[in-house]
Amino acid sequence: MPAPRPDRGPLRVVQWATGAVGRYALRSVIGRPSLELAGVLVHDPDKIGKDAGEVAGLSRTGVVCTGDTGRIMAMDADCVLHMPLPAAYFSSDHTADLKTICALLASGKNVITTTGFVYPKSYGPAVVASIEAACDQGGTTLHGTGINPGFMCDFLPLALTGLSDRVDHIYVRESSDLRGHPSRQVVVDLIGFTRPAGDYATMVRPFRAFQRMLFAESVHLVADALDVRLDEVAETDEFEVAARAFEIAAGPVREGTVCASRWVFSGLVRGRPFMTVEVVYKADSAQTARWPEPGFALHIEGVPQLSVRVEDVSHGLTAAAAHAVNTIPAVCAAPPGIRTLLDLPLPTGRGLIRLA
């Protein structure tokens, strides 16, 4: 277990992966005086040896990107922002993220990840035991987060139930426009847009398992926090094809290929939904009239009836990165172990206000 730093200076942070979300997190870490960039792990060979500032689109930092995971493991740092593409989908070893996270924790570094682990208990006691053993060895903390899951379908519903006298059903909807999303790996390889309809059904099978695993974490977290025992989490999905060809940042969408999908995850109690999470993805909302417009909606049926709508998040990638970065101080100060959103202070934009 590493000795605490006596200087109480900036927290030393490692950025693990610089993809669609990681690059925004890297920019945020570089720009904050309370944080010091300790290292950057990249998977793209073209980024190895480059200055982190260059990768982030900023001035030079003196920190050189590396592809050597051993070098990162041996590095002195307070926290790792772990933001790779999820191994549960992109790796032949679906437990690779768990193994990496446990190794980082055991090496004495706190970990904040966007690959799931919002509520590790939902994966069963074996996963929890392996994480807790790594935390004990390193004297460290794990926290899983993101914008959804991580905030919209778990933190917000729980916050709103504080106004409830009775809760009958919780409904959360995310509708995302991926027109400007730059990652072909996410938009095409993961979500399946631009695929022919006949190929999509086969291709999406592993994504379906990944999605169910991801959103089941949030449903179980909310249910457990409200002392509700779920019987199961059910999932359904459907898709829409493009009526005409159009372009998005991730590439061309041809007529007749998949351009939108809708997923529904329901936490059931005696056959009735206690919590429902609806997730809609659109390659371009202007090209797909079916299903709701982009934004987030939250309804709590009960006494009283409560509804909240976030009509627009102008840059979801930035929001996901910022939510993780804003959590760093609380995670580094927390006792060792798994820390969900129920265990940490609400991350805010403290220190980020810019007044003219």
Output the pLDDT for position 332: 98
- How does pLDDT run across 13-36, given as a tens digit for each residue? 999 999 989 999 999 999 999 999
Statement to judge: residues 44 and 134 lie in one domain: yes
Q: CATH number, domain at 17?
A: 3.40.50.720
Look at residue 128 and tell me if it is in a domain. Answer: yes
Count of structural domains within the chain: 2
Statement to judge: residues 224 and 117 lie in one domain: no
Statement to judge: residues 26 and 93 lie in one domain: yes
Statement to judge: residues 300 and 326 lie in one domain: no
Output the pLDDT for position 355: 67
Output the pLDDT for position 202: 83
Q: Which of 294, 312, 330 is the last residue of a domain?
A: 312
Look at residue 121 and tell me if it is in a domain. Answer: yes
Statement to judge: residues 170 and 137 lie in one domain: no
CA distances from 344 to 16, 85, 145, 339, 348 (A): 22, 25, 12, 7, 12
- How does pLDDT run across 29-62, given as a tens digit for each residue? 999 999 999 999 999 999 999 999 999 999 999 9
Output the pLDDT for position 3: 42
Look at residue 1 and tell me if it is in a domain. Answer: no
Statement to judge: residues 247 and 276 lie in one domain: yes
Look at residue 343 and tell me if it is in a domain. Answer: no
Residue 87 domain boundaries: 11-145+318-338
Nearest to 193 by CA among 145, 232, 119, 245: 245
Look at residue 66 and tell me if it is in a domain. Answer: yes
pTM, full prediction: 0.92
Nearest to 331 by CA among 93, 67, 135, 39: 135
Question: Are the CB atoms for 280 and 297 separated by under 8 Å?
Answer: no
Output the pLDDT for position 284: 96
- Helix (H, G, I), strand (E, B), or coil: what is residue 352? coil
Statement to judge: residues 186 and 278 lie in one domain: yes
Output the pLDDT for position 85: 87
Statement to judge: residues 30 and 165 lie in one domain: no
Statement to judge: residues 163 and 297 lie in one domain: yes
Look at residue 331 and tell me if it is in a domain. Answer: yes
Look at residue 187 and tell me if it is in a domain. Answer: yes
Output the pLDDT for position 295: 92
Q: Which long-range contacts (CB under 8 A, 24 or more apart) does 330-336 make?
A: 331/79, 331/110, 331/112, 331/141, 331/143, 332/11, 332/78, 332/79, 332/110, 332/141, 334/110, 334/141, 334/143, 335/141, 336/135, 336/136, 336/138, 336/139, 336/140, 336/141
Statement to judge: residues 127 and 184 lie in one domain: no
Output the pLDDT for position 180: 92
Statement to judge: residues 196 and 254 lie in one domain: yes
Residues of the chain with pLDDT under 70: 1-8, 354-356
Looking at 209-290, which runs of residues are DSSP E strands? 232-241, 246-248, 251-253, 258-269, 272-282
Look at residue 140 and tell me if it is in a domain. Answer: yes
Statement to judge: residues 63 and 179 lie in one domain: no
